[in-house]
A and B are shown apart, each in its own frame.
Chain A
Amino acid sequence: MDKVIVSPSPHVHSPASTNRIMLDVVIALMPAIIVSILFYGWCEILVLAVSAVACVGLEWLIAQFLMKRPELFNGSSALVTGLLLAMNLPCTTPWWVVVIGAVVAIGIAKMSFGGLGQNIFNPAITARVFLLISFPVYMTNWAMPDGFIGSVDAVSGATPLGLIKEGLKSGSTIPEILSAHGLTASTILRDIGGSSGEISAIALLVGFCYLLIRKVVKPWIPLSILGTIALIAFIFHAIDPAHYTGIGFNLLTGGVLLGALFMATDYVTSPMSNWGGVIFGVGIGLIVMMIRYFGSYPEGMSFAILIMNCFVPLINRAFHQKKYGRA
C-alpha cells in the first residue's frame, strides 16, 4: 500500500447516490413514457427529446458560462426535469415552446435559485404554468394525432375537465355535457385526452410502485393528496352530482396522478418529515378541488403544487423528527 487514508468515521457508505436516485426516477417514468409514445407516436418522441436535451444542455451552459461553477451541473437531475416537463405538455406543442419551457424550468426556477437543492418551486411545474399562461392556445389544444397503435378514439380540442368547465359555465349539467360529447365512464378512464403524462394511470402507478420498492419516495404525500381529493369529491358529488364531478373523474384527470406521484414528491420542493408531507399533501388536495369546483381554470394541480411549495420552509420549521429521550 502506497497511501493510507486517515479520515474520521464512518469508513463505509451505503450504495445510495444522487445519480442513482435520479436514475430510479427516470426508470419509474418509463412505463408512462412508453405508453404515451405508443398513443401519440412521433410527435411525443419529439417533445420528450427536445425537452430532455434542452434541459440538460441549458443546465450545463448556465453552470459553465453564466454561473462559472461547473460543479453545479447535475445532468441526471436536469434529465428528470426535462422528462417531467415533456410529460406535462400536449404532444402537439411546437418545439420552440418546449425550449422556452426548458429555459423557465432550468434557467429561472432552478439555476437562478442556486441550482440543485436550492430551488423553492418545482421546475417542471413552474415551466408548465408559465407556458399555460403565455401560450394558452398551444397548451389547451389537445388534438389527437395518430399514435403507433392507432389514433385515440376520443375528444379533440379540449380535455374532459375543460369541456365540463365550459359546459357548467354555460348552464348545463354534467350528465348533459358528457352525453353531448359522447363521453362515457369507460372512455374517460381509458383514453382521455390530455398531456402525455395523463394518459395512463396504470403506467404511472407501476412506475411509482418501483420508487416505493426502491425506497426512493415515501407514500405519504401522494396518499394525502389523493385522499383529500377523493374525500372532497365524494362529499360534493353526493350532495349535487349534476354540478360536481365524482371521485374517479377527479383522481384520473388533469394531471392529478402525475402531479401527486412524481411532482409533489420532488425532494427539494416538498417537506422533509412524514407529518409535514401529510400537511403538504392535504393542502394540495384542498387547493386543487377549490380551483376545480369554484375557480375559473378547469384543472389546478400545477397551481396547487406551486402554492404549497411556498409553504415548505414553514412546514419544515413546524414539524420535526421525534427525538430520542426528549418526549
Chain B
Amino acid sequence: MAKLTFSIGGIHPADSKIARERKIEVLPLPDRVYVSMFQHLGAMAKPVVAVGDTVKAGQIIAEPGGFISAYIHSPVSGTVRSIGPRKDLAGFMQMHIEIEVQGDEWAEGIDLTPELVTSIPEDRDFILDRIKMNGVVGLGGATFPTHVKLNPPPGKVAECLILNGAECEPFLTSDYRILLERTDEIVVGAAIMQKVLGGCRCVIGIEENKPEAIAAVRASVARLGYPSMEVAVLKKRYPQGGEKQLIDAVMHRQVKSGGLPIDVGAVVQNVATSLAVYEAVQKNKPLVTNVLTVTGDVLPAEKQHNYLFRIGVPLSFIAQYAGGVPESAVKMVSGGPMMGKAIANLDATTVKGSSSILYLGEGTARKSESPCIRCGRCADACPMGLEPFLLKSLYKAGDVAALEQNAAQDCIECGCCQYSCPSYIPLLDNIRMAKGQVMAVIRARNAKK
C-alpha cells in the first residue's frame, strides 16, 4: 500500500529522535506529588478528599466538575498534606492536591499483573463507565475526556477509528517506545474502542521512520486476529499527527471549519490513549501513569531516557533523577519543539498529557526579524491552507472581520509558518492573538442566536 499523507502544506523538520532506542524505565517514587485538578480539557475537577486523609494509589481524589471533565486518582499511597493553588506548566495558578508518599499500596480491585487480557467485555455502557471512572483522557495533546469522544452524539456514526501513532514532533519517542513495548495492549485497547464505536474499522497510522513499530503492530494485529484493523504507513511529514491532517491522510476527507471529526465519520485517538483504555477496561487501572521522554539537543545521548512516571511527580524530580539540567540549555520545553510549552523552571508538576522534558541550546533563541520578502513559504507550509503573511498584516491592521474571512480561526498552531519564515517573523505569535480575537467575535455572535 502506498504511503499516506495529508494534502495541504507541511514541513520536514530534522527528526532528532535521539532517545528512540532507550527502553522505558520505571521512575522511582518521589517524597511528594502534586496532582493538578486541571489536567484535561473542560471543567476543573473537584477534590473529594480533605487535608489529612490517607489515600491509596488509584483511589479517586477528585470528581468531574462538569459534563466535559474527568475523574482524577491519586498516583501514590500516602497522606494528603495540602489542597490549594500552585503554578502549573503554563504558569497559571491552579488547584493542586499535595500528597506525601508513604509506601506503595494500591486501591482494591485494580489488576496490576502483566498478563494480557484479550476477552473484551460485551456491555458497551460498562466499557464507557470504566473509561470514565478511571479518568482516561486523550494523551495526544488535547487531553479531551475519552469517554465523551467515544460516545458520539445521536445521528453521528463512526466509520473509522484512527489510532494516532504518527509522533511527528521531533525529539519525542514515548509513543514509539510504547508501540514497541506495549504493542498487544495498545492493539487490544483499539479493539475495545472499535467495539464501543459500534464495530467501525480501525486504522493505526504510524510514520515511515518507525519501521520496527510498524512491523510490531502488524504482527500483533495478525496474532490477535482482528480482521477490521490495519496499519497505515504514513510519510514522515509534520504535522502528520494533527487530528485534521491524519483524517485527511487516512480517509481522504476533510473536517469542515468549526466541525468535528465525527462529522466525517472519524474518531482519532492517540496510541497512548489506547493503552490507557486497555488498562482502564481490562485491568480496572486508572490513568495514573504515563511515559515521557527526557531529551534535547544539548543533552548527551546517554542521559536521554523514556520514563514510566506517576502523574503528579514534579518535573524537578524527573530532571534530577535523569542527571540534572544541562549547563548549555537555554530553554526548557514541556512537549515537542514545534508545539510544546516553554517553562521558566521545573517547579511545575507532571499532568496526564505530559510527554517530555526537552532541553534546547542556543539554536532555539529567536533571531531578529527582518522585512517580509513575500517568498510565500509560510503559505506553502500551512497545513490548513491559510496565508500567515496576510493574517499577520490583518492582525496588525486590527481588521477582525477580514481575519475571520481569511480563516484565522482555523489555525491549529502547529508552527509550520514561523518555522519556515526566512525573515524570522513571529507569524504564529500574531496569528494566535488574531485567532483569539476572531473566536471571541464568533462566540459573541453564537451567544446572541
Contact = CB atoms under 8 A, between A and B. Distances in A.
A181 interface: no
Contacts of A3: 330
B330 A1 contact: yes
A214 interface: no
A325 B410 contact: yes
Interface in A60-101: 71-72, 74, 77
Given A16-B420, A322-B385, A11 B373 contact: no
Which interface class (under 10, 10 to 19, 20 to 34, 35 or more) fits B? 35 or more
A326 B382 CA distance: 14
Which interface class (under 10, 10 to 19, 20 to 34, 35 or more) fits A? 35 or more
Contact of B254 (A14, A18, A77, A325): A325
B251 interface: no
Contact of B373 (A8, A18, A320): A18
Q: Which of A11, A16, A272 has the most CB of B within 10 A?
A: A11
B360 interface: yes
Contact of B342 (A11, A324, A326): A11
Nearest to A312: B374
A220 to B, nearest CB: 11
Q: Dominant SS at the B interface?
A: loop
B413 to A, nearest CB: 7
Interface stretch (A110-118, A130-138, A142-150, A229-237): A110-118
Contacts of A6: 331, 342-344
Contacts of B423: 17-18, 117
B330 A9 contact: no
B415 A322 contact: no
Interface string B340-376: 1111110000000000001010011111001111111
Interface string B311-354: 00000000000000111111111010111111111000000000
Contacts of B389: 272
B22 interface: no
A30 interface: no
A5 B332 CA distance: 8
Interface in A105-128: 115-118
Nearest to A116: B371
Given A7-B342, A324-B383, A13 B424 contact: yes
A4 interface: yes
Contacts of A320: 387
Interface in A9-33: 9-14, 16-18, 20-21
Interface string B415-434: 10011111110001100100
A5 B337 CA distance: 13
B242 to A, nearest CB: 10
Contacts of A169: none
Given A6-B342, A115-B371, A272-B379, A326 B364 contact: no
Contacts of A12: 13, 170, 337-338, 360, 363-364, 419
B419 A13 contact: yes
A13 B367 CA distance: 10
B254 to A, nearest CB: 4
Contacts of A11: 331, 333, 337-338, 340, 342, 358, 360, 364
Interface stretch (B54-62, B106-114, B255-263): B255-263
Given A21-B422, A320-B387, A323-B410, A14 B13 contact: yes
A10 B337 CA distance: 6
Contacts of B188: none
Given A4-B345, A6-B343, A324-B385, A17 B376 contact: no
B331 A5 contact: yes
A268 B372 CA distance: 9
Contacts of A324: 8, 244, 248, 254, 383-385, 410
Contacts of A4: 330-332, 344-345
Contacts of B377: 16
17 contacts: A5-B365, A9-B341, A10-B419, A11-B333, A11-B358, A14-B420, A16-B421, A18-B422, A21-B373, A116-B370, A117-B423, A267-B376, A272-B374, A272-B387, A320-B387, A322-B8, A324-B410
Name the 3 nearest CB pairs between A and B, nearest first: A10-B415, A323-B385, A117-B371
